[in-house]
Each structure stands twice: as C-alpha cells, then as structure tokens.
Chain A
Amino acid sequence: MTLWTELEPLLAKVQKPARYIGCEDGVYTPDHRPDAASWLLAYPDTYEIGLPNQGLQILAEIINERSDGAAERTYAPWADLEDLMRATGLPLFSVDTHRAAGDFDILAFNLSAELTYTNLVNMVDLAGCPIRSADRAPDDLLIGAGGHCTYNPEPIADFLDFVVLGDGEEAVGEITAAVAAWKQDGKGDRLEILRTLAGIEGVYVPRLYDAIYADGLLVETVPNDPAAPPTIEKRTIADLGEWPYPKAQLVPLTEVVHDRLNVEVFRGCTRGCRFCQAGMITRPVRERPADQVRTMVSEGLKRTGYDEVALTSLSTADFSGIEQVVVDTVNDPDCGGQVSVSLPSLRVDAFTVGIAGEIQKARRTGLTFAPEAGTWRMRQVINKLIREEDLYAAVRSAYSQGWRRMKLYFLTGLPTETDEDTLGIATLARNCVAIGKEYHKNPSVTVSLGGFVPKPFTPFQWFGQNTREELQRKIYLLRDELRRDHAVKLKWHDPKATMAEGLVSRGDRRMAAVIEDVWRHGGTFQEWGEHFDLRLWEEALERNGLREEDFVYRHRTEDETLPWDHLSAGLHKDFLWQDWRDALAEVGLEDCRWTPCYDCGACTGYGIEHVVASAVPPAGGSQGTGQDLGVGGEVPVTLLPSKPAPVGARS
C-alpha cells in the first residue's frame, strides 16, 4: 500500500521535496509477491548523496531480475521531513512506490562512510523496527548492511542482523533465495533464518558471535552457535564482465552529486597506498573488457540523455587501453560530439593530464590531484610513490593546456609525520603556483587537507591516530605558513569530526552504546559539518565509561586482537604487519600487477588472478614504470605501542 497520500501534504512544508518523489527514469515498480523476498535498499544519507550510489543500483537490478525477489530504495529523510513524519506517524517509505518500510522483509544499508551510522539507527527506528537485533520479533525487518565500512561492522553489530563482506552481486541472490524460502514457511523462528544466512559465504551474522573482553581489551570474537563459521571470508566476483550492471542507471529528476552516466571500468587496485582501505579490501584488480565498457557507455548515453560519462575505478588511468576507450567515446557518432568524459581519480602524471586534455575540449575549469603527502619521505611511508617531478610535470601539462585551477589533496596525521612533512605541502603548492604563473596571470591552487583516520585491513590499522589537538596544530602550522601565499587556498576537515570517524572506524561492539546515545540525543547527519556535534560524542563516551584515547589514539601491538580479526578481506595479517614495518622503514612497494606477487593473500586465497588486459604497466612517471624505490632514510619518529588504561565496559 502506498503512503503517497499521507506524504504529499508534508512535501509543501519541507526543503527540496523532489528528494522524496522517486519518478526517476528507471524507477523500480516491482511486483511484491507474497512468496518473494522484498528488499528495501537504503543509503543512510540524503537523496542527493545516495541516489548516484552504484552499489545500491547494481543490487536493486539483480534482485528485481529474480523471480523470488523485489527491491526498492530509500534514503535518509532530512531533519525537516523527519520531524513531520514523527509528528504525523508516517514511517520510513520507499521512494519508488512509497511503500511503508515495514511492508518489506529486509532493510539493507550501503555503508560508505562511518559517520552515517547514527542515520542508520534513525532509519531503522523510523521504519518502526526495534533498533537492536536482539529485540526483534520474527515479523520485524531483517536489517542488513554491506559496503566498505562493513569490514569493521563491530561498532554497529548490535543493530544489524546480517552483514555482507565484499562484492554483493552473487551474495544478494543467495540471501534472496534464503529469505524467500523462510517467508514461504511462514517466518517462524528468527534465529532459524539468521543461522541460514550465516551459512552463506561472505555473510556475517553478529548475533551468532560473542565478543570477549579482559582488562578493557578485546580478547576474541567467537561463534556462540554451530551454524556460525569462525572466520567469515569476503565475497569476490572473478569476472566483472559477467556483471554489466547497472544496466539501466537511474536518471534523477532533481540535482544529485555525480549527476552523469557512470561506468565502472575496473574493481580493485594494487597501487598499495597504505592509508587506502578501498585499495586493500577490493583486491585483486578485475578489469571490465574494453568492448563492454564501450557498449555500456554508448548505450547508456543514448538511453539516459546524459552528455557526460565518468569511467569509474580507484585509478582509471591504469585501465588497459584507457586512451582508446576515451577516444572512441568522444568520437562516437551516436553521441553527437557533445559528450565529455570524466576520470574521477586522476593519477599524478603528465600522461594522465594528456588524456584529460583529449576529452575535456570545452569547460576546462579545474583539475584535482592527490599527492597525499608533502615530502618524498612521507610518500614512501604511505607508498604513494609520486616524485615531485611527476607532480610538476602533471601541473605544467595542465596549465599549458588551459586549466587554471588545481586542487591538491593531502592527508595530515600520517604515521611518522614531522612538521617538515607538513610544511612540505606548502612548498609543493607554492611550486605549482610558480609553474602556473608561467602560463597564466592568476593561477590558483587549492590545498585540501584531510585528517588521517587509520582503517581496518590496511597496514596502518595498528597506528594510533593523531589527537584532535595535534591535527589542529598541524593544520594551523600549514595555515600560518601559507598566510602570505594568496594564490594558495587552504581548506581542511574538522579534526573533531576526524576523531569521531576514528572512534567508529576501529571501535568494537562497545561503541554501539555510544552510537545509540549520540542518536538518542539528536545526532543525525554527523557527516554534515553543520550537524556534527562533538559534544554529543564526548558525552556519549563518558556516559558509557569509554575513552577516545583507547579507541582512537592508541597504537595497537602485533599481538592485540583487533575487532575485525574474525573477518577476512583475503589479506594475510602478516602481510599487512610486514607492510606496516616497511612503512616505518620508509620502504616502498611496487604495484604487483606488473611485478612478482607479494602474496598479500587476495588472489591466492580465493584462487583468482588479477584480470588485466595489458601485461605491461601504463605509461607515465613514477606511478607507471618509472618507480624509484631506492631512496630511503632513517625513521625519524619511533612509534611506541601503549596499553590502554583498564577502564570501560567488559563482557
């Protein structure tokens, strides 16, 4: 039954009502048969942020193609509508057919950002479902989650009935079949379906595991049920070519981020940047066949009417034969010659800028590069092996081809970072401006500085995050250094939000009480600067007897149990530990696509290989063949692991 008649009178009273109407080209209108599993796929942020999410659209299409499944979508209502919904008793609804969330069988979230966790709890509550898994009745929704954040689902484990690790394409079908069968049997014992789900590869059912603590530390996370495997391995699809999804990308009526056709050209990345969780957990590299990319681009443009296509991946310039694909797209006669191609993750070298120049004949506004750190030493530590000359060649190439504005992304708070490294950012930015002045009167360089948050399943997972005060000090250090450089604009992320992100990134199950507490005190949309409220997090920690230093700032030891140790992204823990030691020794590691295997585990463990069309690395500077790993030096900062004070909740 549709809630549209109840919803519509509220729309006149809220901002951006088009967020809630659906009506996109490609909107789902599935038949919800009583014997099929109905999924409500959710993105726990606003419609504008959530709609373009490709993962959600891929899964919705796969489910809707099945005879035993149906899928619709929902997004977090903005605070103005939420207030009206609560005042009028209107529950969470799908945007496709405005069906009540409670009429579905499964509410499943895509989690791409940790600070959305309070929105997840809020949406479960708005759906009329008890927020904790343990409190749910057989008829209540099954609450699931997938996406990059779920490699450490422990902070939200109490809220979730099941978690899918890794690629969802295959697992989603198996879950659909299991839930449909359970539904046909009349949804008896809830534990029964949870046990069935736990038997599906890649599916983690938190309730079937106990987390055991001693002296304020996690000791182990062990199954409490015979149906639960001791370790949950992620799912990996071997051949991206078998999954040409989304086949009919949704075209929204109102403005959203990434409002263009998106075609995923490969999944995975083996550049090995040590701070990058995506690059570690999505291994191995699996390229989509170039012909399929061409077909998806040209058919997608024709179907949607978009004049822009993004070729997406973690480093698109590494796609074999990228130049040819780009040239074919721009010159496709069916596309009318007005198509622009965007490469959302540019590599830092002149080759990449050359491709960008090829395709952005018009509208040359700005280019973004991500050197990530200010000195070569620091970049070796993080294994982002860009030499200064590569950055300058890229920047020179861009300015000479007509671009005027550069944006440079950096991280601060990286392991072993010294003030010299932080100030190195200023030197790089100034040198870029100087190059720009050779070509333009008023070149501008924007430096965007993010606070580093160590993530699970990366070599930096043992590193104690910089404190709020330390991050703030470094930001101000750089700000003061750049005070007189009017051509360099510095932007930074709020270190307070960085702390909160750290709290939930590597927290354990004790963090659920904190997340619930923040939510109960009104803390939704915490990833939005104007809504983030540090006080809520501090008070929640205090009320629960937990301290941020234990979860965020403390260096972990090799023998410490990590909250995600019972999960596996395929990576051997000793590979990650060795990479962490290599980082501290400032030893870089070449891309394994074109060098011998380091046995990280991602390929060998699953019996699959990198699927790369080209046996030779792409052209370019240090990021291509020209890597120079010979430069090394002493470790200037010693990392002393520390034990936490014995406070906090214990099991």
Chain B
Amino acid sequence: MRIRLRFTKTGKIRWTSHRDIARVWERVIRRVGLPVAYSQGFSPHPKLHFGLALSTGHESVAEFIDIDLDDSSPLLPSEADLAALPLRVSAALPIGLEVTGCAVIPSNSTSLQQAVESCEWDIEIRGAAPDAVAAAVERVLAADDLTITRQRKGKDVTDDVRPYVLALAVVGPTDAGTQVHAHLATQPRGLRVSELLALLDPQWEEGLVRRTAQWTLIDGARHEPLEGPAEATSTSHATVRAS
C-alpha cells in the first residue's frame, strides 16, 4: 500500500535542509509505528519517496511524501486509521512540520518528482518598492525570451526560461519590501526562485519565500498531487484535511 501525505514546513524549521527533513521522516514513522516497507539487500532502508526538494530557508504549505507500507503487516492502517493519521503524525513531528492531508495512491503512481509540472510561490523581495517590482515584473512578462546561463553537471548551459514563468504578479508591500506571487514550471529543468529574482533585478535580496502549491497536469487539467482523477485514488477516498 502506498500513501501520500501533504505537509507544511514553516517557521524556524525552514532553515533545515531537504536531507534533514528526510531523516526527520524516517524517525517519525518509527515513532508513530507506521508499518513502512523496507528495501531488500545489504542495507535495508525504509521506502520513502520525496517530492521536489525545497531550498533551505524556504517555507512551504504544499510538501508531499509517498510512503510504501508493508502489506503483510498486521499494523496496516484501515480507512479510519488513515483518517486519523494526519493528526497522529503531526503530533510526532517537530514544530513547523504539520500533515494537512493523506490519501492512498496506486503503488505504481508516477513519482512526485516526475508528476509535478509546476509550483506556485509567494516571494518577498527585501528592500524593493512595489512600483519598481511591478515594472520589473512587466518587463519579464513582456519578454519573448529570457536566456540565463547556469551550471548543469559542471558545465555552463544557456536556457530560455521564459516558458517557465507561467504567471507572475505583484501582491503588495510587506514590512520589509514587496511580495510577488509566481507560478513556475518545473519540467524538464525548472526555474529556481533565486534565478527568477536575478531576472527581475540582480540587486534585490530574497526575503521570505513560501511554496503555496504544487500541480500535476493530467489531460491538460491541473490537479493537486493529492486530488488526482478518480482512477488515481480509486482504492480509497480517505483524503483528509486537518487544516
């Protein structure tokens, strides 16, 4: 049985890395007593599958993890157990990590890293006035192409990243600057928030950044990874919102 959980990462814990959070999950699953499946071989490890890495320092209200459970275990959760799971797991997680949804998904589902096509972000730009940001946003959206040079496998590669900017808008002023909302594609390579910021103005400093949503694309329609089309959750509809 494979289950998918949605969770948040907010507050002080945003300064931990993607790998740190992976280790936190391994311990939490043992603490909660979820009968996780282990890989075979010389060094068995629990079968946990993480989605797109979140940069250290960024917050998120839309993180996902897939967990393979041991179907032969007597502890395999029932539908009622699954409904109660978000609260149970949240209680064992450190402050700032909270499970906000849970569903059974097919064991052969496409991995989160492949399935997710785009992410939405709230980005605070420190020390920049809304007017200036709005002008930069307009320039980026009006551009036919936006080439940046970045490293891939140690080599400099030049990409046109304009197609990755699906939406971009000024939200308004914050205490420290201006907030923008961005919708950025993640496939095949993706555009990082820091890269977007450099496109707007290389002088601007990144403030609080929060991932607000991740989207999969099925038959041209966007779905949240927890709410795929009917067949994707046919085994169970135990989707629960704890918040």
Please report A residues at the B interface, Cβ cutoff 8 Å: 4, 11-12, 17-18, 20-25, 251, 253-255, 302-307, 336, 338, 362-363
Partner pick for B20 among A254, A305, A307, CB 8 A cutoff: A254
Chain A residue at smallest Cβ distance from B205: A12
Interface membership of B44, Cβ < 8 A = yes
B15 and A306 within 8 A (CB): no
- Cβ of B30: which chain A residues have Cβ within 8 Å of it? 305-307, 336, 338
Q: A18 — nearest CB in chain B belongs to which residue? A: B16
Residue in B20, B31, B38, B42 whose beta carbon sits within 8 Å of that of A302 in the complex: B31
B69 to chain A, nearest CB (A): 14
Q: Please indicate the chain A residues that have their CB under 8 angstroms from the CB of B24 in the complex.
A: 253
In the complex, what's the smallest C-beta–C-beta distance from A26 to chain B, in angstroms?
10
Contact A21 B13 (CB under 8 A): yes
A17 contacts B56, C-beta separation under 8 Å: yes
Q: Is B78 on the interface with A (CB-CB < 8 A)?
A: no
Distance between Cα atoms of A25 and B24 in the complex (Å): 10
Report which of B13, B29, B42, B94 forms a contact with A362, defined as CB distance below 8 A. Answer: B42
Contact partner of B15 (CB less than 8 A), chosen from A21, A255, A336, is: A21
- Checking A4, A12, A25, A307 against B57 with a beta-carbon cut-off of 8 angstroms, the contacting residue is A12
Number of residues on chain B facing chain A (CB within 8 A): 26
How far apart are B67's CB and chain A's nearest CB, in angstroms? 14
Q: Does B28 contact A (CB under 8 A)?
A: yes
Identity of the chain B residue whose Cβ is nearest the Cβ of A17 in the assembled complex: B15
User: Which 7 pairs of residues, A with B, have the shortest CB-CB distance?
Assistant: A305-B27, A305-B31, A17-B15, A305-B30, A21-B12, A18-B16, A254-B20
Q: Does B43 contact A (CB under 8 A)?
A: yes
Q: Is B201 an interface residue (CB 8 A)?
A: no
Indicate if the CB atoms of B206 and A12 lie closer than 8 Å. Answer: yes
Q: Which residues of B19-58 are within 8 A (CB) of A? A: 19-20, 23-24, 26-31, 38, 42-44, 56-57
Decide: A253 and B13 in contact? CB cutoff 8 A: yes
* B31: contacting residue among A22, A23, A303, CB under 8 A: A303
Query: Which residues of A sit under 8 angstroms from B42, Cβ to Cβ?
Result: 362-363
Q: Is the CB of A23 within 8 A of B95?
A: yes
B57 touches A254 (CB 8 A): no
B31 in contact with A18 (CB, 8 Å):
no
Residues in A with CB closer than 8 Å to B16 are 18, 21, 253-254
Say whether B173 faces chain A, with CB atoms less than 8 Å apart. no
- Taking CB as reference atom, which chain A residue is nearest B75? A336
The answer to whether B15 touches A18, judged by C-beta atoms less than 8 angstroms apart, is yes
The reply to whether B94 and A25 form a contact with Cβ atoms under 8 Å apart is yes
Tell me the minimal C-beta distance from A391 to chain B in angstroms. Answer: 27
Chain B residues near A253: list those with CB within 8 A. 13, 16, 20, 24, 94
New A-B pairs, 5, CB < 8 Å, besides A18-B15, A25-B94, A305-B27: A18-B16, A23-B95, A304-B27, A338-B30, A362-B43
Residues of B close to A305: CB separation below 8 A: 26-31, 92
CB distance from B56 to the nearest CB of A (A): 7
A362–B31 CB distance below 8 A:
no
Q: Is B17 positioned at the interface, with any CB of A under 8 Å from its CB?
A: yes
In the bound complex, residues from chain B placing their C-beta under 8 Å from that of A304 are: 27, 31
* C-alpha spacing A255/B13, complex, angstroms: 14
A200 vs B30: C-alpha distance when bound (angstroms): 45
Is B20 a contact of A4 with CB atoms below 8 Å?
no
Q: Which residues of A contact B12 (CB under 8 A)?
A: 4, 21-23
* CB of B96 within 8 Å of the partner chain: yes
In the complex, A20→B16 CA distance in Å? 10
For the complex, give the distance between the alpha carbons of A24 and B24 in Å. 10
**Which single residue of chain B is at the shortest CB-CB distance from A307?**
B30
Q: Tell me which residues across on chain B come within 8 A of A303, comparing CB atoms.
A: 31
Within 8 A of A (CB), among B183-226: 206
Residues in A neighbouring B95, C-beta threshold 8 A: 23
Q: How far is the CB of A29 from chain B (nearest CB, A)?
A: 11
Q: Is the CB of B43 within 8 A of A363?
A: yes
State A348–B67 Cα separation when bound (angstroms): 42
Q: Which residues from B are CB-within-8-Å of A255?
A: 19-20, 23
Complex formed: what's the CA distance from A255 to B23 in Å?
A: 9
Interface positions, chain B 125-165, Cβ under 8 Å from A, are none
Determine whether the beta carbon of B15 is less than 8 Å from that of A362.
no
Contacts of B43 in A (CB 8 A): 362-363
CA of A21 to CA of B20, assembled, Å? 13
- Which of A21, A302, A305 neighbours the largest number of chain B CB atoms within 10 Å of its CB? A305
Of all chain B residues, the one with the shortest Cβ separation from A302 is B31
What 0/1 pattern do residues 106 to 129 of B give for CB contact below 8 A with A? 000000000000000000000000
User: What's the nearest-Cβ distance from chain B to residue A361, in Å?
Assistant: 10
CA distance A362 to B27 in the complex (A): 19
B26: chain A residues at CB < 8 Å are 305, 307
Give Cα A251–Cα B20 distance, bound, in whole angstroms: 12
The complex places the Cα of A552 from the Cα of B174 at a distance, in Å, of: 60
A5 to chain B, nearest CB (A): 11
**Nearest chain-B residue to A336 (Cβ)?**
B30
**Chain B residues positioned under 8 Å from A17 (CB to CB):** 15, 56-57
Q: Write the nearest CB–CB distance from A311 to chain B, whole angstroms.
A: 20
Chain B residues contacting A306 (CB-CB under 8 Å) are 27, 30
| Residue among A23, A251, A303, A307 with the highest chain B CB neighbour number at 10 A | A23
The answer to whether B57 touches A18, judged by C-beta atoms less than 8 angstroms apart, is: no
